[in-house]
Amino acid sequence: MTLKYNKGEWSELYAFIKLLKEGRIYAADQNANRIQDQYLPIIKIIRREKSDQPIDYYTGQAIKMYQNGVLIAELLPEDFDENIKMLFDTIFVGSPGEGAFEIPGIQSFMNKLQVAKAKANSLEKVDMEMQIHDFHTGFSPEVGFSIKSDIGSAPTLLNPGKNTRFRYRILGLSDDSMALINKIDKTANREYMKERFGELISKSSSIVFDQVLDQTYEDNLILIDSDLPKIYGNMILEHYLHIKEGIYNCTELIDLVAQKNPLNYRRIDFYSIKFKKLITASALGMTPGKKWDGKEAATGGYIIIKRDGDVLCFHLYNRNFFEEYLLNNTRLDRPSASRYDYGYIYKIGENMYIDLNVQVRFKTIG
């Protein structure tokens, strides 16, 4: 059977093979540049294509593969070189397009590795499991990493859903204006949300954050920081208030919130500090639709696959670098309004409301 995957999926296979060969993973700084003197030695990579029969791939002078404690295969590191180059030349240098494509020459090597698919099974936020040697503690724990690739379309950090809607109260809008604004839809204009919100801004006296609609998501936000529902809600509102200007970057949006200082903090840097906690939790374990206990699923950290072919990690010891990287490299994006049921004005009693929604997406990786 011919295997076809997109660039992002093939790049995860590239990372797996490259890390096995090198036996270490280098740390990244806040700009996603390699820190040459900081790395984690990799003892083994654990791959779970069949959850009940994982294979342990041990690094070293020979790559030894064990299943249920039994040696099943052994490969020399030099066997990896031509296949790493093949993947690199196809994914990073070539132009195979944005859809799924095959790399016929790689399949025989995948068979030797007993790898049936490019992307291993994921558990929660964990895309790759490793046993590493920890210089800081002297221990060798098994930890999970989340993987994001800068190859192909920009990956999403915080996925949207009906449970990520925020509600806003509209003041000073007439019923006639509400009806006219709701009639602006995509049948007449593909950019209808910009036109709809532009009219709403001009015809109302103010729009203010009201609440997070989903209780589970609100509780997750409060667990991170009790003020996060208001901070993130106001950040989303700033994106829509500046919708015609096209302000998407998280750094710009959180600065706009800080300038208005809706929570009356004595220090306005609280806004960016608290928002960084949200995107870091979203990267490492928290999802909107599931009750979160505060524990991070990706206990090792975050692996990034850069466009130049380098594979780096933000280990949790470098948390400050990681948080700064996430803030500087993410943007808000609007998901489908019809699919996620938001963007129209409605009344509850005498009060008018509008629900808004976003997803957090990477701008780039490295």
Q: Encode pLDDT of 240-280 as tens digits.
A: 999 989 999 999 999 999 999 999 999 999 999 999 999 99
> On the CB side of 24, how many CA atoms lie within 13 Å of its CA?
12
Q: Are 83 and 106 in contact (CB under 8 A)?
A: yes
pLDDT at 42 over 90: yes
| 112, two tokens | 């030797």
Q: Are 304 and 28 in contact (CB under 8 A)?
A: yes
pTM of the predicted protein model: 0.87
Provide the pLDDT confidence category of residue 236 given band limits of 50, 70 and 90.
Answer: very high
pLDDT at 206: 96
pLDDT at 364: 62
Q: Are 306 and 312 in contact (CB under 8 A)?
A: yes
pLDDT digits (tens, 9 = 90+) for 125-145: 788 999 998 777 778 888 899
pLDDT at 185 over 90: no
Q: Are 271 and 254 in contact (CB under 8 A)?
A: yes
Give the Cα separation of 155 and 116 in Å (integer): 24
The residue whose two tokens read 């997109």 is 6
Burial class (CB in 10 A: 0-12, 13-18, 19+), 316: middle
Q: In what order do the strands lie in the sheet with 166-171?
A: 206-212, 166-171, 351-356, 345-348
pLDDT at 165 over 90: yes
pLDDT at 161: 94
Point out which residues pair with 331 in neighbouring strands.
249, 361
